[in-house]
Structure 1
């Protein structure tokens, strides 16, 4: 199946800049719960904490989740840095990932005595935006969403021509790439998105999300048209009279953003969760 350009995506964005932190020290511990592969970042406080489930995209593993933990936890919000493929004990490729895995992450947080399970958010970038949107549409316990360079639909996995995501053993409707491997990646995604019937079948049910949405897109995205898809999501939610706040910030960069935009993007993600959870 298709291969993504080897950008560092959000991981680079999160660890490449510094931001004045609040006065929260934090501890990181490995999660031992069912088959979850995750680290929990807990700010030190005597109050119950809001929490963000954080994961990456094409890069897989724990790196992006951990980077989010180091970024957000100093501001008084716990972070569950989650891997959903490319770690021991879980899928090695982004293929046929069960959404039940992400739901178990929410279930775990409900068991933790220091977490306020009424204040759970999710952040995902690139391919991870698909999982973030799906999780938020499927489980009302998610109360706040951040996605970077997002998709409005689900896509096939990385190595097999089937949906990247499943639920209750069934494929979640998804699109495959158009054209052939000789075409530019952005063109393969864009042409696939021109098939309105397929898009309508694979479009996320954004109106089911139980909280505010913050999208960050790239106007010169060379992987997929994240800017236009974000605009489409805005219009969709307006037409559905979505009751929660929707913010869309865009930057004149490629899919992985840039060092110049990183400080503002990082601060905006932190501020979103601090103000909405």
Structure 2
């Protein structure tokens, strides 16, 4: 998300000079192609019936629970979520790392993404040999957490959801139209219709995009249809956020999800908050210094993000075992 906004802001400056012709150019240009990581020796590529994903089946013949795994606005099939997919597979979860934008056969821009893409992924998972269709979960972070919560409130039978750096609302799509002209399209659609959504408001600050989202959230009372109805989710929910977040207000939005659940007499989500972590608070524990440095640019310290990932992964593992019934290997186990 940060890279796309930097590119966008630079282009907006150029538009002051080049005028309407430049505006048209900005709107029609696709983003740079996202990374598509190979599934590796324990996985397989899926390109079927509108699904583009990497699939990591659990070992053995016993029916296993399954996870729909959703990355963020980076699009494609990224390295960070690939590492988490391998950890989940090693613990006995058949895991589908789904691409939902900026990937082959998908919208280049994250706008009006069909919820049907996620429904297809869940349907596909439930039909796989060795998968128990009654034990399905969703894990996502950032925009994948936003999508994950929306889907969990609409798709029946999801038993558990783990959402990192989550959103309490549906946001505008990430497109030139929205950046230039205001609220023009949604991040998500269903049956061809955009979901109600909040607009980005104001300008990024010296430290990043936070003011755009903070100002946008002030419009919630005027646009209550954009609020994700967490009370419609019938499973168990875990939310993870970092209080040093710089990209968007994931901890305040976590608080809003919790408050709505309480107001609507829904089960209280489990919340993990980390003081010294930012937008890198959740994911596979870090294995290299470069990843630690990169995530620290979005808030928190390198040590704080690393500690949060290690601690939250152990708690995610325990949560999934309790809700989906896997008696897995030790929490810190890596890929086979």
- TM-score, with normalisation over the residues of structure 2? 0.72
Number of residue pairs matched by the alignment? 257
Counterpart for residue 63 of structure 2: 48
Quick check: 90-99 or 254-263, which moved more? 254-263
Instruction: Tell whether the 8 Å contact from 1:217 to 1:250 is kept in structure 2 after alignment.
Output: yes
Matched residues in 2 for 1:260 and 1:151: separation? Answer: 23
Counterpart for residue 15 of structure 1: none
Matched residues in 2 for 1:207 and 1:98: separation? Answer: 22
Instruction: Tell whether the 8 Å contact from 1:153 to 1:199 is kept in structure 2 after alignment.
Output: no
Counterpart for residue 110 of structure 1: 126
Match of 1:69 among 85, 88, 95: 85
- TM-score, with normalisation over the residues of structure 1? 0.87
* Residue 261 of structure 1: how far off its partner (Å): 1.9
Counterpart for residue 144 of structure 1: 160
1:117-147 per-residue CA deviation (whole Å, 9 max, x = no partner) reads 1111001101111110111011112111011
Counterpart for residue 191 of structure 1: 215
Q: How does 1:169-248 map to 2 (within 5 A)?
A: 169-181=192-204, 184-243=208-267, 246-248=269-271
Q: Any idea what SS the aligned residue of 2:161 has? A: strand
Matched residues in 2 for 1:70 and 1:5: separation? Answer: 32
More strand by share: 1
Matched residues in 2 for 1:275 and 1:182: separation? Answer: 42
5+ residue gaps, structure 2, are 8-40, 179-184, 282-304, 325-336
Superposition RMSD in Å: 2.1
* Residue 197 of structure 1: how far off its partner (Å): 2.6
Q: Any idea what SS the aligned residue of 1:67 has? A: helix
Larger Rg: 2
